[in-house]
Structure 1
Amino acid sequence: MKKLSLFVFLICVLTGCFDKTFDFRNHQSLENMMSGMSLEEQRVFLDDIQLAADALGGDHNLNGYTVEEVKAEAENARAFLNKKNVELLKEIISEMESIGKESIRLHMSSHGLFSMPKEGYIAKTYSINKLKEKLLELSPTEKSQKENNISSEKKITDNISIENQLADSISFKSNTKEREKTSSDIIKIFKDSNVISQSPNGRVDYTDYYIIGSPAKLMGHDILLIEEEYMDENIGCCVNPGFGFSVKINGNISNLVSFAENNGCSFEEALTLSEKLKSLDINYNLPQGDFVYLSCRENDIQ
């Protein structure tokens, strides 16, 4: 029995039973390399062998490759194919958009490489939207850029929505000096949009102060601090219900001045916002710039 085992061992040594490197002349070498792999792993590895062999110009060029080296070569080939596909799809999509073309016929190789139709090969029709989906799938950078664009567009849309709601809320009801919304309604708009926290950052006497956590604008200028004055409990004299905004100006402030005049708000230029925040014991890293203050309280209405 021992002699038989030794004989089998010697045969394996001579025929390469234990060799786990590729030999295109020896089918046994491939079986040795896949020894211990699941059926799915074997399927994937056979694809890797074929791709790596095609990339190198023939399976004979894989002689001596280990499993890991074959996988690495296949991965390099996929990266190359991916790069070529991304370059081609960008070019095709750009051209289709420029001429308003909705679909195009393309050939795809067995390894997934796109090319223009070739004689003798079957081409498939792809819509421009399908090509864009494929481009996002192939290029993480493109996908990330699209997600960033969507996120930026959403932020812009949200900012415009908040600004419009704010402007509408501050304005007067028709033929009255009563505002469309109360100060509580306006604070709720900001809270529901996650622009400010649910609780004020500071409170002095009858006034709550909220630091802006997400970008919000008024007439194109950046709101940094919102305040709401209201009667919660009687702690002295005298409450002046309403709200106010500390704003960083962006360019010309004439639109902001007109807005204040038309909507019963007082306007203060050259606001020293850092001193105001310090007096409120609120820590906030102010951006550089000039600041103004709008107060839209009952006593501001003329």
Structure 2
Amino acid sequence: MARRIPDRPRRLLAVAVLVMATALAVPATAQPSPDGLRRALAAGMGLHPSSGGRLEAGPAIRQFIAAGYVDRRPTRRMDYTDYRVLKRPFQFLGQNLLVIEEEYMTQYVGCCVSEGSGAILRLSGDRSELTAFAAANKCRVSIDQPDIRARLAELGLGREPGEFARLSCRERDING
């Protein structure tokens, strides 16, 4: 004859099984949509509404990491800037986003940190969204400067064809 489990342990076992089944059925944290990622990156490159200073791009970068667009660790850190090369295509401000830059100071390595963020983009068509964003957020846009190609080469993207722009949204860009 089978031994009967008393009511209380049987209820606890049923609750434990139910909790485990529920936990397994709940999907992992939802991946941000491309539109959500675009909004987050644009917000991280923007200006603080009350102080007028730069906002932090860190939250947006963490979303790009969660979505698998960039690695958790920067591709390269030079001076005060982390460079994260995108692992798959992404459109930002109507252009192809290649690199996300984040400049900040963890320890002093010499003059001069200008906190904020930026991006290197391969230009593809209409630039009006890019230029309007830069003007509205006091960012600077440089197009096909030699330093952009040099940076791409340092990041392993030296053979990328096309015309490139660097969008810089750092403290130094606020005042021109």
TM-score (norm 2): 0.72
Give 2:139's aligned residue. Answer: 265
Which consecutive unaligned segments of at least 5 residues does structure 1 have? 1-154
Q: Of the two structures, which has the highest relative contact order with CA contacts closer than 8 Å and spacing of 6 or more?
A: 2
* Secondary structure in 2 matching 1:200: coil
RMSD: 2.2
Asked if the contact 2:144–2:164 (Cα under 8 Å) also holds between the matched residues in 1, the reply is: yes
Could you give the per-residue CA deviations for residues 192-213 of structure 1, whole angstroms, max 9, x where no partner exists? 2211101111111111111111
Give 2:164's aligned residue. Answer: 291
Asked if the contact 1:159–1:215 (Cα under 8 Å) also holds between the matched residues in 2, the reply is: no
Give 1:161's aligned residue. Answer: 36
Q: Residues 171, 235 of structure 1: CA spacing in aligned structure 2 closer, same or farther, 3 A cutoff?
A: closer
Deviation at 1:292, TM superposition (A): 0.6
Q: Residues 285, 237 of structure 1: CA spacing in aligned structure 2 closer, same or farther, 3 A cutoff?
A: closer
Counterpart amino acid of residue 52 in structure 2: K
| One of 229, 243, 248 as aligned partner of 2:117 | 243
Give 1:183's aligned residue. Answer: 57
* Secondary structure in 2 matching 1:167: helix
Aligned counterparts, 1:137-286, within 5 A: 158-179=33-54, 181-272=55-146, 273-278=148-153, 280=154, 282-284=155-157, 286=159
Name the CA distance, whole Å, in 1 between partners of 2:103 and 2:90.
Answer: 20
Q: Which has the larger radius of gyration?
A: 1
* Secondary structure in 1 matching 2:33: helix
Name the CA distance, whole Å, in 1 between partners of 2:158 and 2:144.
Answer: 18
Counterpart amino acid of residue 244 in structure 1: G
* Secondary structure in 1 matching 2:84: strand
Deviation at 1:286, TM superposition (A): 4.7
Name the CA distance, whole Å, in 1 between partners of 2:90 and 2:34.
Answer: 6
Q: Residues 184, 164 of structure 1: CA spacing in aligned structure 2 closer, same or farther, 3 A cutoff?
A: closer
TM-score (norm 1): 0.44
Which consecutive unaligned segments of at least 5 residues does structure 2 have? 1-30
Aligned counterparts, 1:91-106, within 5 A: none
Asked if the contact 1:277–1:283 (Cα under 8 Å) also holds between the matched residues in 2, the reply is: yes
Name the CA distance, whole Å, in 2 between partners of 1:235 and 1:285.
Answer: 27
Percent identity between matched residues is 31
Asked if the contact 1:274–1:286 (Cα under 8 Å) also holds between the matched residues in 2, the reply is: no
* Secondary structure in 2 matching 1:295: strand
Deviation at 1:294, TM superposition (A): 0.6
Deviation at 1:175, TM superposition (A): 4.6
Name the CA distance, whole Å, in 1 between partners of 2:115 and 2:93.
Answer: 23
Deviation at 1:288, TM superposition (A): 2.4
When you count strand as a share of all residues, which structure comes out higher? 2
